[in-house]
A = this chain, B = another copy of it.
């Protein structure tokens, strides 16, 4: 450990605040601002103050060491990127308003990189010519840019954020699987060292493309992702990635479909109440427009449609809800009474729960009328089965059937087997063993470095403030001079001795600040160990406090130094 100079709080640019910032909703945002770790510069754009920068650098160091350990090579690519490669893969357009675009003085188009698949692909295309040059894993730790519609939650979801992104290049699928496994293990070591509680969850690839992907989710109330955990087996998945198995039924015994009068029942609630059946017996048909074409989405009446899943299914096409105008233009679509039977010129997709052979009560495409005994595959055809429902607490585990538990979490890492999507778009080949060109297969792997700081703050904080795990804390010990000149002198003397032994010290030597305020600040700032030079300073006795447990112990100065340098 390098000998870092003692940081004196009398000189530290980190003003603590008594009150939560007015715009802060989540714990990490409140605490990181109050404890003087970060400050907002613009919406979703943050400044890291000295203590925050230290934590960030600690996370970076752990990530770098573990990436180096799997043989990944660190590089640094530009943050400002030319448009052309993103045109080649279609992402210049697909990214939509989330991409920061700009022009240079000559009118050339550039973007601020949200992620760098294209540029790494081109780099390897320039550098590697033979299968002998592969496999290779490249990584960088760099600011990324995404123009979020609603930047929120402090550094959890910023528009400029620090990320470790890495990319693997292999000639064979087995090689990709191995590069992926190396990353998965490295990520496990990284998050364990950081002291983060996390789950590895099956995930959807989303706009990134590719086949297999998993997320590393850190459970936290402030999280924007919901994941399902099985209490009975090892299954865990982002709810977005959970798909229900299609289980066809035999509908031979179901009577023929028939219309039933159901006046004034345009909603599932009114319909179920009117008929005295559970909502789960009804089939709800939501109408959306996909690039302007009407699509009906069928789900059991007791389930909600997850619009994120619908959008992901049709991406990059734009998905909107239908409007009054759309209904006016299509009198055959009777609002509140739509049913899949007899629908014309409407694509029909349905959740797997609407499996062939299942029977439903659904709209009869006539005002005030529904139909019962409407059987999927007999009375109507499902164009495509797509899992689009919101996963609910208690839904069966896809692996063992036990009821799933849902939790909020922060996505701190994501690993993808991209396959050949980018290599195809940018024509990345190397000469294979047989002398013929081989298309390269890729993986893409990210860790939100700045987001990990927020996740750590969320998970480790208590009601007194931040409480950092040792490996990421901005200092090893927070020395508090609680008293007058005598205590300050002792605190500085101990600090100097500790620093000389390689201990990272933050010392509160502020004059004119009461011991009470200093104690409160030390708990807010959250360095793991707090050493107080107080009442018994004259006797050479100090108090060592564990920030997390609150346990205190009186020690002589020599004992304290010995303990802290052990």
Interface string of A1-33 (1 = CB under 8 A from B): 010110100111111000000000000000000
Whether A160 contacts B79 in the complex (CB less than 8 A), given A50-B73, A71-B5, A73-B50, comes out as yes
Q: Which of A2, A102, A143, A512 has the most chain B CB atoms inside 10 A of its CB?
A: A102
**Contact partners of A5 in chain B: CB under 8 A:** 68-69, 71
A41: which of B11, B108, B119 is its contact (CB, 8 Å)?
B119
**Contact partners of A41 in chain B: CB under 8 A:** 77-78, 81-82, 119
* A426 touches B (CB below 8 Å): no
Among the listed stretches A120-128, A186-194, A355-363, which one makes contact with chain B, having 4 or more residues with CB under 8 Å of it?
Answer: A120-128
* A565 touches B (CB below 8 Å): no
Q: In the complex the two chains form, is A13's CB within 8 Å of B82's CB?
A: no
Q: In the complex the two chains form, is A75's CB within 8 Å of B102's CB?
A: no
* A101 touches B (CB below 8 Å): yes
* A145 touches B (CB below 8 Å): yes
Judged by DSSP, the binding face of A is: mixed
**Contact partners of A4 in chain B: CB under 8 A:** 68
* A39 touches B (CB below 8 Å): yes
A47 to B127, CA, bound (A): 12
**Contact partners of A127 in chain B: CB under 8 A:** 13-15, 36, 39, 49
Whether A136 contacts B13 in the complex (CB less than 8 A), given A5-B69, A76-B53, A100-B102, comes out as yes
**Contact partners of A112 in chain B: CB under 8 A:** 80, 102
Q: In the complex the two chains form, is B13's CB within 8 Å of A138's CB?
A: yes
Interface string of A57-76 (1 = CB under 8 A from B): 10000000100110101111
Q: A52-B76, A102-B102, A143-B143 are in contact. List 18 more A-B contacts (CB 8 A).
A: A4-B68, A11-B136, A12-B73, A13-B124, A13-B128, A13-B136, A15-B126, A15-B128, A39-B123, A41-B77, A47-B119, A48-B77, A80-B112, A80-B145, A80-B160, A100-B102, A102-B112, A104-B159
* A positions within 8 Å CB-CB of B: 2, 4-5, 7, 10-15, 36, 39, 41-42, 45-50, 52-54, 56-57, 65, 68-69, 71, 73-82, 97-98, 100-102, 104-105, 108, 110, 112, 119, 123-124, 126-128, 132, 136, 138, 143, 145, 147, 149, 159-160, 511-512
Among all A-B residue pairs, the 9 with the closest Cβ atoms: A102-B102, A48-B76, A50-B73, A97-B105, A42-B82, A47-B77, A45-B78, A15-B127, A105-B147
24 A/B residue pairs, CB under 8 Å, sorted by A: A7-B73, A13-B73, A13-B75, A13-B123, A13-B138, A39-B127, A42-B108, A42-B110, A45-B82, A47-B75, A47-B123, A48-B75, A48-B76, A48-B77, A50-B73, A52-B75, A78-B160, A79-B79, A100-B102, A102-B102, A102-B112, A105-B147, A105-B149, A143-B143
